[in-house]
Structure 1
Amino acid sequence: MRTVDVARESGYSVQQVRDLERLGVVPPAARSANGYRSYTPAHVHALRAYRGLAGAVGPVAARRMLTKLRSETLTEAASTISAVHVRLTREREEALRAQQALRAIQAEAHPPEPEQQESDAMTITQLAAALGVRPSTLRFWEQEGLVTPERVTSLRARRYDPSAIGAARIIAALRSTGYGIPQVRDIMASLGRPHGLCEARRILQRRLDQIAERTVALLRAGTDLAAVVTLTEDPPSAG
Structure 2
Amino acid sequence: MGRNLQSDDRLRPVDLARGHGLSTQAVRNYEEAGVLPAAARTPHGYRTYTPLHATALRAFLALVPGHGHRTAASVMRAVNEGAADEAFRLIDESHARLLDDRRTLQAVEAALRGLGSTTAYAPGPGPRPAGRFIGPLARELGVRPATLRKWERAGLLNPRRDPRTGYRVYGEADARDARLAHQLRRGGHPLEQIAPLIAQVRAAGGTEPLEAALRDWHGRLSARGRAMLTGAAELEAYLRERG
Equivalent residue runs for 1:212-227 within 5 Å: 212-227=222-237
Equivalent residue runs for 1:64-143 within 5 Å: 64-71=74-81, 73-105=83-115, 107-109=116-118, 124=138, 127-128=141-142, 135=144, 138-140=147-149, 143=152
Deviations 1:61-87 (A, max 9, x none): 533443355346222221111111111
Counterpart CA distance in 2 for 1:213 and 1:56 is: 8
Contact preservation (8 Å) 1:26, 1:47: yes
Counterpart CA distance in 2 for 1:50 and 1:209 is: 23
TM-score by length of 2: 0.64
Deviations 1:138-189 (A, max 9, x none): 544565464589xxxxxxxx9998983674245432564442x344222212
TM-score by length of 1: 0.65
Name structure 2 gaps, 5 residues minimum: 1-9, 120-135, 160-168
Larger Rg belongs to? 2
After TM superposition, give the deviation of residue 52 of structure 1 in Å. Answer: 2.4
Q: Secondary structure at the match of 1:191?
A: helix
After TM superposition, give the deviation of residue 210 of structure 1 in Å. Answer: 0.9
Change (3 A) 1:16 1:96: farther
Q: Secondary structure at the match of 2:36?
A: coil
Give the aligned partner of residue 23 of structure 2. Answer: 16
Aligned residues between the structures = 206
Equivalent residue runs for 1:137-152 within 5 Å: 138-140=147-149, 143-144=152-153, 146=156
Contact preservation (8 Å) 1:191, 1:197: yes
Counterpart CA distance in 1 for 2:52 and 2:63 is: 16
AA of the residue aligned to 1:2: L
Counterpart CA distance in 1 for 2:240 and 2:48 is: 21
RMSD of aligned Cα (Å): 4.0
Name structure 1 gaps, 5 residues minimum: 111-121, 129-133, 150-157
Identity of aligned residues (%): 25
Q: Secondary structure at the match of 1:208?
A: helix
